[in-house]
């Protein structure tokens, strides 16, 4: 297991286009998180899944953003009608919850989005 994998690593898109990112968590991790990180800032929480259920969404996640984890394994994050303000690093993390305990979260390398 090589850790959390994200694809693509870099994406340049024109304003108004739709983009989709993929995240493959560490196998057997049942929790998956999406964060956004802009230059000079720490990551900001967007949403998280436990298995296939999306349990929480940040108010940062506008209607143009949608995330799915259809089979409780990989996840996709789609941004519709991209805006220049969407330019950021999109980070995926995974952890495992068993009973009342969570493991720590492990992050992928991120997908860097540039909207031109």
Partner 1 sequence: QKEVEQDPGPLSVPEGAIVSLNCTYSNSAFQYFMWYRQYSRKGPELLMYTYSSGNKEDGRFTAQVDKSSKYISLFIRDSQPSDSATYLCAMSEWGILTGGGNKLTFGTGTQLKVEL
> Candidates 11-19, 64-72, 78-86, 96-104 — which segment interacts with partner 1 by CB under 8 A?
96-104
* Interface pick for partner 1 out of 35, 77, 113, 115 (rule CB under 8 A): 35
Dihedral sign, Cα of residue 38, residue 39, residue 43, residue 49: positive
Sole binder of partner 1 in the list 12, 55, 60, 116 (CB under 8 A) = 55
Among 13, 54, 72, 112, binds partner 1 (CB under 8 A): 112
Residues making up the chain, counted from first to last: 116
Q: 21 vs 33, which CB is nearer to partner 1?
A: 33
Rounded (5°) CA angle 39-14-9? 50
80 is a site residue for partner 1 (CB under 8 A): no
Q: What is the DSSP string of 22-86?
A: EEE--TT--EEEEEEE-TTS--EEEEEEETTEEEEE-TTS-TTEEEE-TTSS-EEEEESS--GGG
Per CB under 8 A, 20 contacts partner 1:
no
Angstrom distance (rounded) from CA 59 to CA 113: 20
State yes or no: residue 4 binds partner 1 (CB under 8 A). Answer: yes
Catalog residues that contact partner 1 under the rule CB under 8 A. 4, 6, 31, 33, 35, 40-45, 48, 50, 55-56, 89, 91, 93, 95, 97, 100, 102, 104-110, 112
């Amino acid at each position: 297991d090589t850790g959390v994998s994200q694809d693509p690593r870099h994406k340049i898109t024109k304003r108004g286009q739709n983009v989709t990112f993929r995240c493959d968590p560490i196998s057997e991790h049942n929790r998956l998180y999406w964060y956004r990180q802009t230059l000079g800032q720490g990551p900001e929480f967007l949403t998280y899944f436990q298995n296939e259920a999306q349990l929480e969404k940040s108010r940062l996640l506008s209607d143009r953003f949608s995330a799915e984890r259809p089979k409780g394994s990989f996840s996709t994050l789609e941004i519709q009608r991209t805006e220049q303000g969407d330019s950021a690093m999109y980070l995926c993390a995974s952890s495992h919850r068993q009973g009342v305990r969570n493991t720590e979260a492990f992050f992928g390398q991120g997908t860097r989005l540039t909207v031109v």
